[in-house]
Every structure is written in structure tokens, then in C-alpha cells.
Structure 1
């Protein structure tokens, strides 16, 4: 019996780390073939759980929609945090107050929220440090920020693929090290954090 217990504990402790991020990957992959258009226009959204039409979106929408399937509404969480700590967020758009229609759809704001919630990891060139379900940000040509989700699938060179929308809808591509990486994040959700929270005032 003791031997069996030891074996079970050993197997559990050595379970693939990427398994914990698999639900996020699966949720993001469901968008492939559904979200076909890149559309970054400003639009007024419902709140909470506001979204643009599913066939269109930007890179952040891939992340937002995937987390919503796990019970986390980043629109609401980012808005709540920005209302309480507005000065801690990037002042890049000339706003005097949070805007729940767009704040969560901006990569620098998501980076700040992730960092403030303890999800930031050290940037690495070692593929073994990137687990399925991790979030990665880049800077694209033209100084454009970008975000995607690390997949459980790998390229022929054993590089993790990325689920993202870089201009042609949600896709799964080999781009991890194609552009300069500006951030690496692993968000650990407790059951409480993953539960939808009550609506708050604007």
C-alpha cells in the first residue's frame, strides 16, 4: 500500500505542467475558423461580458474570449482594477478615466493587469519555459503590441505554436520567436477568481 501511494504521488508530481493551461488552449482553439476578420475599430460594448461580433476581433479578443469560457471576464476585471488604480496603467491614449469599451482590448493594459496579478514571468529564449496556456506579448513592426496564447502543439522544430489573431482571424502559428518578445505570463486562477463577479457601476 505504501509503495502504491508513493507511486501515485510521484506520478502526480511529475504530471505535465502544460496540462493546467489546456482548458485555455482548447477554448482559444475553438475560435479558429470562426473569428475570420481582424477589426480593431472602437465599438461600444455591453458590460459585463461585452464583445464584438464573434467573426471579427483583435489579438486581445482571442485571450478575452478564451478566458470567458473559463469563467473569467477580463473586461470587468480590468475595468475594476483601472477604476481603483488608474494611475498604474499606461497613459498612452489621452484618457482621464477608464473606458470599459476598450481598455481590456489594449495589450499594454492587459500586460499591466497580468503583472499586477502576479502572472509575469521572466522572458526566455528557452522553449521549455513556455507552457501551454501561457500568454506571450510581442512588439510587431510599426511598434504594434501583440498578444497570443501558447499552444500545446509544436512546430517541426519543436517550438510551441501560438493561438492569436495577427490580421486574418484566429489562427495557430509558429511565431513565438519571430518577433521580439516583450512579456511572458502565466495566470493561475483559483476557483474563486474564475467565478463571474457581480456587475459593478460604470
Structure 2
């Protein structure tokens, strides 16, 4: 009986680590650390591979935040792509998954979150976006982007976003600055 209680405690503790505020706090830790934007292809370790902490792209904010919670999106995206490659976008001419880059591409994360998380309606209402939600946009030049909804809001009640749009990881008022293309919730 005691073993079961301990197992339950461990399970609840792990689930609590994927709480929205924990994700936000993990993302916020990158502010002032990831100070550059560099999207070039780099060979990285697998699993738990990463580019240098001082640099990265918008997806690295998401990947690093989840990794601090014990969730390796590099490994999870790779395993899903390996098993279901045809379900993922064919935008880069690849014939098989690539552990160095697949998890660092917004369209691949969108597909992964659609398949394994909650895909929520895109809305023009600020209250639809809850702390810890993931949002994707299409930036000018047809560039996909992703960020995490913060619990902090602007004066009008619109949630701020933690992201890296080219100047390092920051928390900014950009939720409705670009066309929203996706809205997701993901946790263990």
C-alpha cells in the first residue's frame, strides 16, 4: 500500500511540473541569456541536443522551456516523425527525419502539437489565450513564428508573449501584432 502511495506522489509531482506557470517560468529564464537570433543549421547531440544558450530561434524558447520541465521535444518530435513522417510538412525536401533541425521548425512543432496536444481555435479575443498556451503566427515574408503566452498582460488585458523574434528571448506585447495561425496546449 505504501509503494502505491509513493508512486502516486511521484506521478502527481511529474504532472505538476508541466503546469502552465512552470512552463512560463522556464521560458522566462532565457530572457537575458539567449541574446541573439541564429537560425542556421547546426549539428547537435541527440537526445537533449541544443545550440549554444546565448543564441537560438523562436522554437528554441519552446524547446528549452519544456526541457527544463523534463520534456525533450527534440526526442519526441523525432520519434513521431520517424513513425509518421508522411504526416509532417514537406517544406524542406527531406526524405527522412533529421534530429538536428526537425524540432526547430515551427511547422513541425505545429503538426506535433496538433497530433499530441490540444489544437485550439484561433481567436481575436485576448481571453481565449491562457498562460502557458503556445501561439504561432505568420510574420511578413511568410515566416512562421511561435511563442508562449505569459500570465502577465498589457494595460488592455492582452497577454504578453515570451519569444525570440530576432533580438534574443524577450517578453513582449505581440499577441495580435501578426496573423495568428495556431493555438495549442501541450503538457505531459
Q: Which residue of 2 aligns with 1:193?
A: none
Runs of 5+ in structure 1 lacking a partner? Answer: 1-18, 190-202
Q: What is aligned with 1:39?
A: 38
Residue of structure 2 in register with 1:61 after alignment: 60
Q: 1:35, 1:110 → 2: CA distance? A: 20
CA distance, structure 2, for counterparts of residue 166 and residue 149 of structure 1: 12
CA deviation map 1:81-132 (0-9, x unaligned):
0000000000000000000000000000000000001321011111111111
Q: Name stretches of at least 5 consecutive residues in structure 2 with no aligned partner.
A: 1-17
TM-score normalised according to structure 1 size: 0.83
Extract structure 1 runs of 4+ deviating beyond 2 A.
none
Aligned residue runs from structure 1 range 56-95, under 5 A: 56-95=55-94
Larger Rg: 1
Distance 1:188 1:60 in 2: 16
Calculate the TM-score normalised by the size of structure 2: 0.89
Q: Secondary structure at the match of 2:81?
A: helix
SS at structure 2 position matched to 1:136 = strand
Query: What is the 5 A alignment of 1:63-142?
Result: 63-142=62-141
Name the SS of the counterpart of 1:56 in structure 2: coil
**Contact 1:149-1:164 at 8 Å conserved across structures:** yes
Shift of 1:157: 1.5
Whole-angstrom CA distance in 2 between matches of 1:119 and 1:144: 23
Deviation at 1:173, TM superposition (A): 0.4
What's the CA shift for 1:20?
3.5
Matched, 1:183 2:182: yes
User: How far did 1:135 drift?
Assistant: 0.1
Give, in angstroms, the shift of residue 56 of structure 1. Answer: 0.1
State which drifts further: 21-30 or 116-125: 116-125
How far apart are the structure 2 equivalents of 1:129 and 1:95?
36
- C-alpha RMSD of matched pairs (Å): 1.0
Aligned counterparts of 2:117 and 2:24: Cα–Cα separation in 1: 20
Q: Is the 8 A contact 1:67 1:73 kept in 2?
A: yes
**Is this contact kept in 2: 1:75–1:100, CA < 8 A?**
yes
Q: Are 1:119 and 1:188, in contact at CA under 8 Å, matched by a contact in 2?
A: no
**1:132-157, Cα deviation, whole Å (9 max, x unpaired):** 10000000000000000000101112
